[in-house]
Chains A and B, each alone.
Chain A
Amino acid sequence: MTTARVETRGSQQAQRGPAWLGETLGYLRRNPSMIVGGLLLLTLVLFTGLGRLIVDTNAASPLSAPPAQPPGPDVPLGSDPQGRDILSVMILGTWLTVRTGLVAGALGVAVGSAIGLYAGYVGGRRDKAITWVVDVLLTVPAILLLVMIAAVVQTELTSLGMALIIAALAWRRPARQVRSQMLVIRNAGYIEMARLSGLGPLRIIFGEIVPNLLPFLISSFVTAVSAAILAGVGLEAMGLGPQNEPTLGMTIFWIMELSAFLRGMWWWIVPPLAILVVLFVGLYLVNAGLDELANPRLRRRA
């Protein structure tokens, strides 16, 4: 299109010079939601990171504080009926919950991308078989499978075990998406050029294709992390989580189990909810900000 060429020509002039910094700043200026989301997540990281240095997280176990106390000088955020210090629970729980999300998200994206890259690159019958399996699995409601798995292994469950259970299903969507991205890129002229330049399949996938998928993979990772946290909190709230670890989801389970609402223990109810809200809003905003990077159609060049 004639007009579009004029615009890109103009912007090419402006893009020269120290590209990366200028481009990043320009990107942030166009996508302010990224900054807000980033700040929210940074607050949580500081809260749990610094908190663990300052506050004794052993107080997050039961019987370490006087039970069911409202906030006071000994227990800054109060305590729950089983004698956990809420502040310690929040500091440790945020870390455990986020770690579950990061591990499950990373595993899901890594395994899913590997499957997607393989299927998309080899094509043909193997691609058809893999895609068929992924498609069938995609129709299975995740929560159903998770409840079943979690119920079976529940007794000895740790938060890392949770992450593995969630990761067992988190790879499906990245696999499907990476495969379709792969199909688009595989037919690009530069892939043919790489083949004519004597590159083998591994070098083509990791040297030529993956770099172009990076923005997409980053965004995919953020989505997977927030989906994994959501799944984890959901399972834990049902009581299917690690019984001996004070994750945010388990806290919600105990809130419901021990009738915190009836007993008016607001200091127990508000903090985990506030942290979850900040966490999800932050992840959502960051992902919305990454959208332009991951979705070439939204990329504003002018």
Chain B
Amino acid sequence: MTLLQVSNLSVDFFTTRQIVHAVRDVSLAVAAGERVGLVGESGSGKTTTALALMRMLKPPGRIVAGSARIGDLDLVGLKGPAIRAARLKTISYIPQGAMNSLSPVLRVREQMLDGLADHGIRLSAREAKARVDDALAGVGLAASVADLFPHQLSGGMKQRVCIAIAMMLDPKIIIADEPTSALDVISQRQVIQTLHMAQKRIGCGMVIIGHDMGLMAQATDRIIVMKDGRIVEDAPTRRLFAAPQHAYSAELIESVPTLGSRPSRPSGERPAAGAPFLELTGVSKTFGGGLLGGDSKQALAPIDLRIDAERPRVIAVVGQSGSGKTTLARIMLGLEPPSEGQFRYRGQDVSQLSVPERARFRREVQAIFQDPYASFNPFYRVDHALLMPLLHLGAAGSRTEAREAMEAACRDVGLNPREVLGRFPHELSGGQRQRLMIARALALKPRLIVADEPVSMVDASLRMTILNNLRALRQEHAISVVYITHDLATAYQVSDEVIVLYDGRLVEAGAPERVIEKPQHAYTRALVSAIPWPDPDRNWPLVEPDRASWNQPAVVQPGATCLG
């Protein structure tokens, strides 16, 4: 039975310079109890479609054609108060980044009852309490959560509160826009399972918007792939993964790493001689504290690590936000001094390097950051970012030499120097910017590159290209890479070694075949079982994680970079 029938929907943005056709001629149907995934990269029109259905498009956006029917109701034709009446009751929306959609000054209970009051439902205090308790139970939260403020909840809990709010009036259709972005894999799985449970309970149709094909495989019955505002494929999930019809769908599916598909790599490793390239001995970091610093927080517990330049490897450092992985990266880059312990570069304490030695350290240890847009100064053309280190760190003798090195590095990462150089950062795509950042590091001929979440802000279809660039660093240029990520699937795919951090502590370290295929530590097991692999047939049960067991001692395999 078709619940939602969208026909030939088109949305245009009438900007001052031109008309942008954000959504073109989109037709889709959602049946009761069905979960439909809407997939595409940023700018493909998936959120715009959802906002158009909710009648929440902001000017200059406007629906220019089409209809969207739920039963007898045409959402596109609604006017004024009728739109508000339809929202939440007929169709409801869980916005992107729902964790920021809760008002910080109201208790959860008040925010949940807001929608009821707006739809003219008057309840006695007792009835209201029962209703809120029910709704919270429906998303697996305790009734006591109703009396808390949003800042007292974790990200996953806030997301579940938003789901509960969206379901308060048993809508016929729920649209969830990237419901798990910014959540770690364990909370991500809980949220998706919660959505499923709640949907089963009220029997509505559901549209899940996302870009992660792995997650979609586990979460949906049918997937609609969008590109440039058009639907390019609409197929049952199982069939889409088995035999994608459109080239773009195939590209999206291929970009997701799968278990067991790791390319084999050479294992010929020479033993290291002399002082190691980088050595961390009992390095830890504590923020705050002291006389005026307030509460102190240990971001990184003492850790030992040793990287040899003669033995280039890709080392993935995995952990959720707050696990200390970024702190570790900043210490290795010399941006943050360790609170305790010693950080040595070629046998010398990094804090005591002389000026020329420091320049050499900077040349040999470089970085790629998470946000490729923020990494470029918007005031300058992109050349500035690439030339700066070459000139200031003494890697190039003259400007011409620097320019040649820059162009060679661009070609090394598969960019045409004539196409990308001389542009302003906003003129380039996220993928191009991130590859330029790799080129920037590469031009210095470093021995180690620390890449902090280099693909998390890049469209899914470009991720593999960039990760392959990183792999090429090791294979073709003998550069070690420390790949910081929360994404175990890509860590598994690109690394020679995985280090798992939890709450600032080392949890497990070793080869990815061991750590990810046969995890020993309880935390790693929880992480690995929560990875959404692109396998629609996989059983992905909801298990409430047993957090207490995560405190067991670290498991370190012999031969690991990390020494426990």
Contact = CB atoms under 8 A, between A and B. Distances in A.
Interface of A: 1-3, 5-16, 188-190, 192-199, 208, 211-212, 300, 302
B22 A190 contact: no
Chain A contact residues: helix, strand, loop or mixed: helix
23 contacts: A2-B48, A3-B47, A3-B57, A6-B43, A6-B45, A7-B20, A8-B426, A11-B15, A12-B426, A12-B427, A189-B370, A189-B373, A190-B376, A192-B335, A193-B376, A193-B385, A193-B440, A196-B389, A197-B389, A197-B393, A198-B359, A199-B392, A212-B379
A208 to B, nearest CB: 6
Interface string B38-75: 00001111111001000001101100000000000000
Interface string B386-414: 00110011000000000000000000000
Interface residues of B, number: 45
A211 B379 contact: yes
Contacts of B79: none
B22 A198 contact: no
A232 B561 CA distance: 69
Given A15-B427, A198-B393, A199-B392, 19 more contacts: A1-B47, A2-B43, A2-B44, A2-B46, A3-B22, A5-B43, A6-B13, A6-B20, A10-B17, A11-B15, A14-B17, A189-B370, A189-B371, A197-B385, A197-B392, A198-B389, A198-B392, A211-B377, A302-B60
B147 to A, nearest CB: 33
Interface string B304-341: 00000000000000000000000000000101000000
B47 A10 contact: no
Contacts of A198: 359, 362, 389, 392-393
A190 B18 CA distance: 32
B225 interface: no
Given A3-B22, A6-B20, A302-B15, A189 B392 contact: no
A12 B427 CA distance: 6
Nearest to A212: B379
B149 interface: no
A11 B16 CA distance: 9
Nearest to A1: B47
A8 B15 CA distance: 10
Nearest to A300: B16
A6 B22 contact: yes
Contacts of A195: 335
B455 to A, nearest CB: 15
B550 interface: no
Nearest to B60: A302
A137 to B, nearest CB: 22
A132 to B, nearest CB: 13
A286 B61 CA distance: 31
A85 B43 CA distance: 68
Contact of B15 (A1, A10, A196): A10
Nearest to A214: B379
Select the residue from B96, B367, B379, B389 with max chain A CB neighbours within 10 A: B379
A1 B96 contact: yes
A106 to B, nearest CB: 23
A3 B48 contact: yes
B16 to A, nearest CB: 6
Contact of A3 (B13, B371, B373, B380): B13
A15 B426 CA distance: 10
Given A16-B427, A189-B369, A194-B388, A9 B43 contact: yes
B17 A2 contact: no
B362 A190 contact: no
Contacts of B373: 189
Contacts of A197: 362, 385, 388-389, 392-393
A302 B43 contact: no
B553 interface: no
Nearest to A187: B374
A167 to B, nearest CB: 29
Contacts of B440: 193
A212 B377 CA distance: 8
A188 B374 contact: yes
Contacts of A6: 13, 20, 22, 43, 45, 48
A212 B378 contact: yes
Contacts of B495: none
Given A3-B47, A196-B367, A189 B22 contact: no
A195 B392 CA distance: 10
B366 interface: yes
B133 to A, nearest CB: 35
A5 B42 contact: yes
B456 to A, nearest CB: 13
Contact of A7 (B15, B42, B362, B393): B15
Select the residue from B42, B58, B60, B359 with max chain A CB neighbours within 10 A: B42
